[in-house]
Structure 1
């Protein structure tokens, strides 16, 4: 038979008053300690005794003692109540200052661009915060998985989340290495991609992502083919550098490789823009001090800010 373990409403009412009286053996001293009147203490204890169904104190005109039921209740309730008070204090403390464990779910591509430039300085600035970074491409439920926040591109964030911008909007660009183009022509139009080896990515829902292009405001989606399917953009980028094929990736992770000549951008006029990367967290929760500290540090950290500047055409 299923038992009901629900704590009755008001089950803790009067416990603090009882413990204070039991400790001082005096209703008057208990009242002084708790900052209420002796009659209020008496009423609280009477209500507790009625709810329990047993007398807890032996009262005379000159003294107050515990009954056997009172002794048993005191021996167990004192430790339990102290633990409850301590737990409340701990929770209150975490709500007042940046401390505790900050759990973040981030895609792999975000780690070198946003996380690595600032994590050491953040830990130095907030030594009471323990940062846990879970690298995952999946769009997880933050509450169920126990994360404080996540980082994703804006188009993948649910509308009921609070989103904090971390980067400006940026382009999704197509790149290939000089090795790949050694004996191949650069594609001149989207249709040319059908004749190229194109690296693909599998989304967290299991679907193979199509390549999306922007033809003067008209969205073109192409089902490309190639020798490699990856689950994250850094792996795809590395394969493109090695000459395995063309890759469509977020521009920030490829800027340095383009600058140094390891990659060549193609079909630049067809590159679509994305909203950028956002930090997001459940909208029904107030931002905690540890999360607020992380967001502020990320916004103000010069290395991270430099990393998030996105190169636009002609700039």
Structure 2
């Protein structure tokens, strides 16, 4: 009933309009005591009497008349705004701002964004892709996407992909010419298509098996911050890449690429959509979260 959240002002206007505490209580679905307490509390804070009260009638004081003359139009505007909010279309609408890793932009666009916007034509998306890890709340984003291990602990995370396993891949022609690695150390004899991190360093290829651990600094023939650029370079036969499995599934099935040393790469938690858990979730974000879970 009291959607504006300004119950004391609504009580004053109801008593003024109906001329009775009891009638105002019935109209507002409140008890007479609650109405009386609301009026008394407001008068106490304003340090002024708003109503003359007798056993037979209630009437505005001069100060009360001035007060409702000023407050009445503003309260009607607030009530109208509340009514408009509640009458918004059921379909999600508005703008959703999401921050994503630069390396997954195309995957995100193809796999989720196009289908989400097709389902919800009233929604708009603003997507910023970058390598650095940011505070999505401080920088004005509704949600972010990062590897599960990188999601801040005070955020709610929704899995976006299965666990990820990195794979060492190249074209069949590359391995035929340069030899097929049998151990991680053999990769130093190859030229790498490597990823440059947000801090400027080159990502080391992390591999392990039976208690043996490697963080390989493969000599880069090409360094990029975009997995799709790396994949293009590997397909072109420029070197060996270290790429997430879901990027290269089709290439492996088609025989365009070959994966080696698979027993040395271990899965880790995949990408997650994350968002603040301490605030009201807008309808657009709720629709997007549900869509990700469904997908």
Which of the numbers 167, 174, 186 marks the counterpart of 2:161? 167
Structure-2 residue corresponding to 1:311 = none
Paired residue secondary structure (1:46): helix
Paired residue secondary structure (1:280): strand
Which of the numbers 168, 171, 192 marks the counterpart of 2:186? 192
Which of the numbers 228, 237, 243 marks the counterpart of 2:222? 228
Paired residue secondary structure (1:18): helix
| CA offsets 1:81-139 (integer angstroms, 9 cap, x no match) | 44555666677889x98555433322244444454234344334444544433323332
Q: How do 1:174-185 residues align onto structure 2 when only pairs under 5 Å count?
A: 174-177=168-171, 180=174, 183-185=177-179
Q: How do 1:57-96 residues align onto structure 2 when only pairs under 5 Å count?
A: 57=51, 64-65=59-60, 67=62, 69-82=63-76, 84-85=78-79
Does the alignment pair 1:153 with 2:147?
Answer: yes
Structure 1's unaligned 5+ residue stretches are: 1-10, 302-315
Does the alignment pair 1:19 with 2:13?
Answer: yes
Tell whether the 8 Å contact from 2:19 to 2:57 is kept in structure 1 after alignment. no
Structure-1 residue corresponding to 2:131 = 137
Tell whether the 8 Å contact from 1:109 to 1:253 is kept in structure 2 after alignment. no
Pick closer, same or farther for the CA change 1:90–1:120 going to 2, 3 Å. Answer: farther
TM-score by length of 2: 0.77
Pick closer, same or farther for the CA change 1:85–1:63 going to 2, 3 Å. Answer: closer
Pick closer, same or farther for the CA change 1:105–1:91 going to 2, 3 Å. Answer: farther
Tell whether the 8 Å contact from 1:22 to 1:66 is kept in structure 2 after alignment. no
CA positional deviation for 1:172: 0.2
User: What is the CA–CA distance in structure 1 between the aligned matches of 2:206 and 2:19, rounded to whole Å?
Assistant: 77
Structure-1 residue corresponding to 2:196 = 202
Which of the numbers 259, 281, 286 marks the counterpart of 1:265? 259
User: What is the CA–CA distance in structure 2 between the aligned matches of 1:39 and 1:297, rounded to whole Å?
Assistant: 48
Q: Aligned residue pairs: how many?
A: 289
Tell whether the 8 Å contact from 1:137 to 1:232 is kept in structure 2 after alignment. no
CA positional deviation for 1:18: 1.4
| CA offsets 1:229-276 (integer angstroms, 9 cap, x no match) | 222322222232333322211111122233334433233332332222
Does the alignment pair 1:52 with 2:73?
Answer: no
CA RMSD in angstroms, aligned pairs only: 3.6
User: What is the CA–CA distance in structure 2 between the aligned matches of 1:200 and 1:282, rounded to whole Å?
Assistant: 33
